[in-house]
Structures are given as structure tokens and as C-alpha cells.
């Protein structure tokens, strides 16, 4: 039954060691499971408890692969500051063997002189970089070398932590939804359980982590105003005013009377921090998806700079897809924004949004992807699992002592 519970809802409670975990664990009816096991096939009763999502199964298969790697499948590499196209040396052949071991390079593509960094090796390195959220340039610098030097055993542990996280989450049973993977800084729109649009996002900085949550998107707001949170006023606006007394005017910010008090509001416009489109999804943390005037950041591989909200690439096109109406063509959306007036448009049907945290995941084509543990959630999960195992071991030892 302890194993059944671990399959059904994970071994530990994330809300006990995460301060911003807003998703409840799945329910678990022990009596019902026990009866099903007694009256039928135990294996089937247990299998029914685990997550049923295809992503979970792909990750399980990846675990089998990485756990089976020979510990010596690749060794730590030591390289100059940068190794790139056209370079020669033993390190080039070592890089080729390293990529070959993980399946990024086909041995049949090895040139006569394996010490030459050729285009085929550069292309394989680009695939590796893309699968690890690194700048994709085909050369080997500090960040790429660090990723290459992570052992298969460490990757297997990383996969196990993400499988545990899957089990602790409610099952995703809504065919139309948006899933945001914060470490990958990516959002995927699903329709009929198929990904129809993949979008780069900008998510919370390390000091402003984007929480794990589930919400429902209800409307699109064109030309949104921005009510500046007090924390930002204290930490950012006031210091800016000391440097530049005209800061509020230049940023199109004004104080407004709201419910008998003053709030600082940035008026709608191209300089607005929310951009010109906001996707409203009520939740306790007031996290939402929105446009941004800082489009250049989408070109970066590490897009962890927001105060917690999720900035989305090409929000006008996302709005068109979500509104799904002849009334709201791309031209109509552009025209509504051009008026400069704030306009809220409800979705015909609210859309579930899952903001999740995956540092290991597998694409539909089988590519295993890894990301850095930017907020330390893997680390805290590992510590909680170790503490749980220690407590169980102690309880068993005490029990065995009594029995003895």
C-alpha cells in the first residue's frame, strides 16, 4: 500500500518544502485500491495509479536508458576556452566519442582524421546544445563543456526526481490546455491533446521564482494598464526616481485613486511593461501571461528575468488562436490595439493553464532534454526524499527491535 500511494501521489508532499507550490496532490483511496488488488490483478491495480500521460512514459523509458549506461560511457573532458569548427587535436576526438556515447553522433560520420572539428561534429554539438537549453552555436565553451561533463548517473537521478514530481501532480486530463515549463522557458498550447503551438517565454528570475500552479485563462485584455506592485515601487521605482525625477513621466506612470488609496499605474501603450496584450488567469499569486516591449530577450537561451509572470512570444497570434472567431482575426486584433483603448475579450470557454517545473523531459520524437535546476526545486526534492527514506529506515529499525 505504501508503494501504491507513492505511485498515485508521490512519496513526499511538495507543499511541505516549497513555499510557492499551488497544486494539490492527487487523491488516494487506499481501501478502493486494496480491494481492487485483492479481487483482480495486483499489477494492473498498481499500474492504474501511475500518471497516464505520454510524457511520463517517455521519461520512464529515458530513465531505463540512462540508468543502463556504463559509468565509463563518458569521462570528464578538459578543453581549452573554446573548441570550434576547424580546430584540431585529441580533444576533438574525445568530443566526438562523448556525443557518440549519448547518441548525438553517428559513428559512420567520423572523418578519416578524427581529430578535425568538422561540420558534422558541429551539427551534432548543436543538437546537444538545443537539448540542454544552451546557446546553439556548435562550438564548445564553458557552459557546453559543463553540460557534457554531467555523468549519466547524475542525469538518471535528475530523471528520477522529475518522475517523482509527475506522480505528485494531479493527472492532466484536459485535451485543450496550455502547459508552461519554467526551466525550459517554454509554453505549449495543446488542442485535442496535440501540441499546436510552441512558444518561447520569459519567466521569473531566481529571486522572483514563477510558482508552480494551475489556473484557468478566462479573457484577453488588449492595451492593459499595469498596477505596479508595492515591492517594485520600493525596490526599483523609488531608487530610479532619485536618479531621475522625471522617471514616472518618461515611463507613462501616474498615481490613481483606487478605493480611497493611491496606486501607481503604468498607462497602456507600447512602453507598458505588460506590452499590449495580457492573458488573464485568476490565481492567488496574480501570475498571468502577457506581452512585453523587450522582445530581444526571447533571443536568449536563458530567459529568467521577470518578476514571476510569464511573458509570451507573439501574444497577438496566441490571442487570435484562443479567441478563435471571425470577429477576432489578426487584423481585428491589430486594430483593437491601435485604438490605445483597454478592451477585455472573454474566451468562449476558459482554458486550463498548468505552470510546471521540469528539468528533465522527453520530446515526442524521443529527444531527452535537460535544464538547469534554476530555483533549486530538484535539490529540495532530493533532500525531502532522503529525509523520508531515513525516517522510514529508522521506523523499520525500531519496529524490528521491538519484534526482536
CATH assignment of the domain containing 185: 2.40.440.10
CATH number at residue 128: 1.10.101
Provide the number of structural domains found in the chain.
3
Residues 183 and 281 in one domain: yes
Q: What is the pLDDT of residues 13-54, one digit of tens each?
A: 999 999 999 999 999 998 888 888 888 788 888 888 999 999
Same domain assignment for residues 306 and 380: no
pLDDT digits (tens, 9 = 90+) for 352-387: 999 999 999 999 999 999 999 999 999 999 999 999
Residue 225 pLDDT class (50, 70, 90 cuts): very high
Reported pTM: 0.93
- 152, three cell numbers: 549519466
CA distance 182 to 145: 23
CA distance 7 to 402: 30
Q: Are residues 343 and 387 in the same domain?
A: no
CA distance 323 to 222: 12
Q: Which of 98, 116, 150 is the last residue of a domain?
A: 150
What is the pLDDT at residue 241? 94
303 and 274 fall within a common domain? yes
User: Closest Cα partner for 235 from 309, 287, 307?
Assistant: 307
- pLDDT band at 404; cut points 50, 70, 90: low
How confident is the model over 90-113, as pLDDT tens digits?
999 999 999 999 999 999 999 999
Nearest to 273 by CA among 243, 251, 297, 302: 251
- Kindly state whether residues 15 and 146 are assigned to the same domain: no
| CA-derived radius of gyration, the chain | 25
| Residue 108 domain-assigned (yes or no) | yes
| Domain coverage including residue 159 | 2-68+153-165+373-403
Q: And the C-alpha cell for 263? A: 496606486
Are 47 and 141 in the same domain? no
DSSP-assigned states of every residue in 227-280: E--HHHIIIIIHHHHHH-TTHHHHTTEEEEEETTEEEEEEPSSTT-TTTTEEEE
Amino acid at each position: 500500500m505504501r508503494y501504491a500511494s507513492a505511485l498515485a501521489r508521490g512519496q513526499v508532499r511538495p507543499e511541505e518544502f516549497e513555499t510557492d507550490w499551488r497544486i494539490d496532490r492527487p487523491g488516494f483511496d487506499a481501501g478502493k485500491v486494496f480491494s481492487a488488488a485483492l479481487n483482480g490483478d495486483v499489477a494492473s491495480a498498481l499500474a492504474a495509479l501511475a500518471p497516464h500521460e505520454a510524457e511520463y512514459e517517455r521519461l520512464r523509458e529515458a530513465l531505463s536508458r540512462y540508468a543502463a549506461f556504463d559509468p565509463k560511457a563518458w569521462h570528464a573532458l578538459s578543453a581549452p576556452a573554446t573548441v570550434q569548427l576547424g580546430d584540431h587535436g585529441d580533444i576533438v576526438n574525445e568530443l566526438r566519442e562523448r556525443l557518440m556515447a549519448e547518441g548525438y553522433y553517428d559513428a559512420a560520420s567520423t572523418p578519416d582524421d578524427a581529430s578535425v572539428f568538422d561540420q558534422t561534429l558541429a551539427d551534432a554539438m548543436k543538437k546537444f546544445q538545443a537539448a540542454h537549453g544552451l546557446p546553439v552555436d556548435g562550438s564548445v565553451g564553458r557552459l557546453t563543456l559543463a553540460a557534457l561533463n554531467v555523468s549519466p548517473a547524475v542525469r538518471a537521478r535528475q530523471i528520477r526526481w522529475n518522475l517523482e514530481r509527475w506522480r505528485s501532480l494531479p493527472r492532466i486530463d484536459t485535451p485543450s490546455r496550455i502547459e508552461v515549463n519554467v526551466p525550459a522557458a517554454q509554453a505549449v498550447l495543446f488542442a485535442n491533446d496535440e501540441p499546436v503551438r510552441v512558444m518561447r517565454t520569459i519567466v521569473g528570475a531566481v529571486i522572483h521564482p514563477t510558482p508552480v500552479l494551475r489556473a484557468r485563462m478566462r479573457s484577453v485584455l488588449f492595451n492593459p494598464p499595469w498596477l505596479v506592485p508595492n515591492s517594485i515601487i520600493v525596490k526599483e521605482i523609488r531608487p530610479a526616481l532619485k536618479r531621475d525625477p522625471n522617471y514616472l513621466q518618461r515611463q507613462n506612470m501616474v498615481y490613481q485613486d483606487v478605493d480611497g488609496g493611491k496606486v501607481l499605474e503604468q498607462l497602456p501603450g507600447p512602453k507598458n511593461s505588460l506590452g499590449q496584450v495580457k492573458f488573464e488567469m485568476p490565481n492567488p499569486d496574480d501570475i498571468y501571461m502577457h506581452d512585453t516591449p523587450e522582445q530581444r530577450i526571447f533571443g536568449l537561451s536563458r530567459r529568467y528575468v521577470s518578476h514571476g509572470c510569464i511573458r509570451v512570444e507573439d501574444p497577438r497570434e496566441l490571442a487570435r488562436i484562443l479567441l478563435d472567431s471571425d470577429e477576432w482575426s489578426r487584423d481585428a486584433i491589430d486594430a483593437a490595439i491601435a485604438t490605445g483603448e483597454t478592451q477585455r475579450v472573454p474566451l468562449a470557454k476558459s482554458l486550463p493553464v498548468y505552470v510546471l517545473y521540469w528539468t528533465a523531459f522527453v520530446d515526442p520524437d524521443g529527444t531527452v532534454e535537460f535544464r538547469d535546476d534554476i530555483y533549486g526545486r530538484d535539490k529540495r526534492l532530493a533532500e525531502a526524499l532522503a529525509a523520508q527514506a531515513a525516517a522510514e529506515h529508522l521506523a523499520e529499525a525500531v519496529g524490528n527491535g521491538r519484534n526482536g
